[in-house]
Chain A
């Protein structure tokens, strides 16, 4: 496995976690919990974004491993 595909795996896991937390958020009746989960999802989003930019850099460096 190349570094690129490893990072892609982590990004995919994080996306899965984000989806689960979004489902949680929609079921919460206490607004505190909803806010916490929504904020968490935003943070996760930015983390995913920065990792995806890193993946793009890696794909530039190793074009032979481009794509999934």
Chain B
């Protein structure tokens, strides 16, 4: 056999072997590997490359070398899952760099970070003032995560005391013109419902690229032909508008009727409708 064909075979063999070996650490992305695991992956790669080009050793030596470099990190990572102490040594521990707006200099020194390094890491977290930070933690993989002081945190409905209702995630029921039966079933709907909705909009199933149903049973469509405009559902907006209109009408009736009993009927009804529309506010907003 000519040399090039041997090398070709070796390269292909090594390709598949490394494919298996590199997947061994589990579903961690490369940046999440501990330094030791990263080195082992590099060594496996280099050994495989050198052997495939016939630059070093015989097959047995290579297999032993690879086995050691694959197995030892595996054993270490299993050990680190079992024992907290071993994990702290193997993967390292997180360090608090800023606490309640104060930079902890000795921790910074121990991690060999200059003040500029810290500031730059804060800036990449969109924080320009260290006094805004409640706690900043340097993770073992070198990433900085931080918690802002309460007054600097973004406003959420919860933080300003607006009650919000839970809303289930929209389900994608149509992809590439295919109806996803089980997704529809999750909402308690079926394909007949979907086909009826499509007929209402005047759209054929095979022209739909993607279709989603939200928690209120509204169908949102994207067609292959982006020139065609599909009306977006407005049931929620319509309901809210109708409620507001009814409330206004009832107030008008109450103003224009002369009998006190009639006035009371209308104003009570108007008040009830107003309560209903404030109660449904978060459900009917999108």
Contact = CB atoms under 8 A, between A and B. Distances in A.
A68 to B, nearest CB: 17
Binding site secondary structure of chain A: helix
A66 interface: no
Contacts of A44: 272, 276
Interface of B: 165-168, 187-189, 215-217, 235, 238-239, 242-243, 245-246, 249-250, 253, 256-257, 262, 265-266, 268-269, 272-273, 275-276, 279-280, 283
Nearest to B248: A10
B269 A43 contact: no
Contacts, number: 78
Contacts of B238: 20
Q: Is the interface of B mostly helix, strand, loop or mixed?
A: helix
A33 B283 contact: yes
A36 B279 CA distance: 8
Contacts of A26: 188
Contacts of A54: 262, 265-266
Contact of B168 (A13, A29, A36, A37): A29
Given A32-B166, A44-B276, A51-B269, A23 B217 contact: yes
Interface in A32-58: 32-33, 36-37, 40, 43-44, 46-47, 50-51, 53-54, 57
A27 B246 contact: no
A30 B168 contact: yes
Given A27-B188, A28-B215, A43-B275, A33 B269 contact: no
Nearest to A44: B276
B253 A24 contact: no
Given A29-B168, A36-B280, 7 more contacts: A6-B249, A17-B246, A30-B168, A36-B279, A37-B283, A47-B273, A51-B265
